Amino acid sequence: MTAMTAHDVLFHSMRMAERIVEAYLGDLGDEELRIPPAPGLNSIAHQLTHLILTESRIVNAIRPGTSPDLPEGFESLAPAEGETEATRARHLSKDRLLGLLETQRRATRGLLESLTAADLAAPMPEPFRALCPTVGGAFNLAFTHYLLHAGQWVAVRRQAGKPIVI
Report the predicted TM-score, pTM, of the whole model to 2 decimal places.
Answer: 0.95
Domain ranges of the chain: 6-159
Whole-angstrom Cα distance, residue 31 to residue 89? Answer: 10
C-alpha atoms less than 13 angstroms from C-alpha of 72 in its C-beta half-sphere: 0
What is the CATH topology of the domain spanning 6-159?
Answer: Four Helix Bundle (Hemerythrin (Met), subunit A) (1.20.120)
* DSSP code of residue 43: P
- DSSP helix/strand/coil, 95: helix
Written as one letter, the residue type at 155 is A
Q: What is the pLDDT of residues 61-116, one digit of tens each?
A: 999 999 999 999 999 999 888 888 888 889 999 999 999 999 999 999 999 999 99
Whether 84 and 34 have beta carbons less than 8 Å apart is answered as no
Taking only the tens place, the pLDDT of each residue in 113-158 is 999 999 999 999 989 999 999 999 999 999 999 999 999 999 999 9
